[in-house]
């Protein structure tokens, strides 16, 4: 026969036996918010080039997570934690990259997957990661695997292969390029023996797959060629980053920031094109 004390002891033990796993399950199922790398990269290219504080559509929540993490490390003042990846946030992110030991182009303030993940430890997870891939040779020039895949698809749409006159990771490169080829995602294409109509066709194909691409002309101070930057390439140089931002804002990518003179297409990244 059970005493009253024994019954109470058994009930108490049963209660804890049930409650403990439930608490453990709650802790185990805590989910961190996701910072969309595609959105963060797009904002980091476009927002610093804006004349106002308009935010890049679809990027606010992810940028805010990154800015909150930068603030927590003492790198960004609270007044700039607003979902706008402007020049102050670029500078703060560059400081964070330098704190990880990065230098040069790797500390440009343009987020990469590794630094985003380290910054977000315990705060957010990185979704929709973007990778430049490894350096490869294509058409006798250096590109990365992401840029090569984009060009191969653009050539398919265009219906012919192209001739590259300059590739990526070409530090110093051609003086007129102003450092845009120092990092990844950059290339120049010869337009010799290509008709005006086919130049437009090629430019359209390049833009459709995610390049910011323009025809450069003698009137602009260049020999005729197509200059193209892979939008959202994590290895973009600072100059290239500015050009891709200006492309989204309807400009020609030159220092004077004139109106875009290329064919009009829906502006997308390579990742967006692949999903379409």
Give the list of residues 6+ apart from residue 120 with CB closer than 8 angstroms, or none: 32, 35, 65, 66, 69, 126
Of 126, 148, 123, nearest to 136 by C-alpha is: 148
Three-state secondary-structure class, residue 247: helix
Give the strand pairing for 186-190 and 164-166. Answer: antiparallel
| Residues 121, 124: Cα–Cα separation, whole Å | 7
| pLDDT band for position 208 (cuts 50, 70, 90) | very high
Q: What are the respective helix, strand and coil percentages of the chain, to the nearest 5?
A: 45, 15, 40
Q: What does the DSSP 8-state code read for residue 54?
A: P
Which residues are registered as beta bridge partners of 187? 228
The percent of residues above 90 in pLDDT, for the chain, comes to 86
* R_g (Cα) of the chain, nearest Å: 25
| CA-based torsion, 23, 28, 29, 34: positive or negative | positive
pTM: 0.88
Beta strands per DSSP E along the chain? 34-36, 125-127, 135-138, 141-144, 164-166, 186-190, 211-216, 225-230
| pLDDT tens figures, 144-187 | 999 999 999 999 999 999 999 999 999 877 766 778 999 999 99
Average pLDDT, the chain: 91
Query: Which is more confidently placed, 50 or 10?
Result: 50
Q: How many CB atoms lie within 10 A of CB 124?
A: 22
> What does the alpha-carbon distance between residue 227 and residue 133 come to, in Å, rounded to a whole number?
21
Residue 55: the pLDDT is: 97
Q: What is the pLDDT of residues 83-136, one digit of tens each?
A: 999 999 999 999 999 999 999 999 999 999 999 999 999 999 999 999 999 999
The residues, ordered by sequence, that sit 6+ positions from 13 with a Cβ below 8 Å of its Cβ are none
pLDDT given at position 109: 97
Q: What angle do CA 30, 32, 37 make, to 5 degrees?
A: 160
């Amino acid at each position: 026969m059970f005493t009253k004390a024994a019954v109470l002891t058994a009930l108490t033990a049963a209660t804890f036996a049930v409650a403990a796993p439930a608490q453990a399950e709650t802790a185990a199922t805590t989910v961190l918010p996701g910072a969309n790398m595609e959105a963060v990269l797009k904002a980091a290219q476009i927002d610093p080039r804006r004349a106002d504080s308009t935010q890049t559509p679809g990027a606010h929540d992810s940028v805010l997570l990154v800015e909150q993490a930068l603030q927590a490390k003492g790198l960004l003042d609270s007044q700039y934690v607003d979902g706008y990846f402007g020049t102050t946030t670029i500078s703060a992110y560059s400081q964070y990259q330098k704190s990880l030991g990065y230098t040069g182009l790797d500390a440009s303030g343009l987020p990469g997957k590794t630094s985003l993940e380290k910054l977000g430890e315990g705060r957010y997870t990185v979704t929709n990661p973007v990778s430049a891939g490894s350096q490869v040779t294509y058409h006798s020039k250096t590109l990365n695997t992401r840029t090569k895949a984009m060009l191969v698809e653009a050539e398919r749409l265009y219906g012919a292969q192209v001739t590259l006159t300059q590739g990526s990771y070409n530090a110093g490169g051609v003086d007129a390029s102003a450092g845009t080829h120092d990092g990844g995602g950059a290339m120049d294409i010869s337009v010799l023996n290509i008709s005006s109509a086919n130049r437009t066709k090629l430019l359209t194909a390049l833009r459709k797959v995610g390049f910011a691409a323009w025809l450069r002309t003698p009137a602009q101070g260049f020999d005729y060629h197509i200059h193209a930057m892979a939008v959202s390439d994590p290895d973009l140089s600072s100059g290239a980053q500015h050009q891709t931002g200006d492309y989204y804002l309807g400009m020609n990518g030159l220092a004077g920031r004139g109106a875009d003179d290329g064919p009009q297409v829906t502006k997308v990244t390579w990742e967006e094109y692949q999903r379409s």
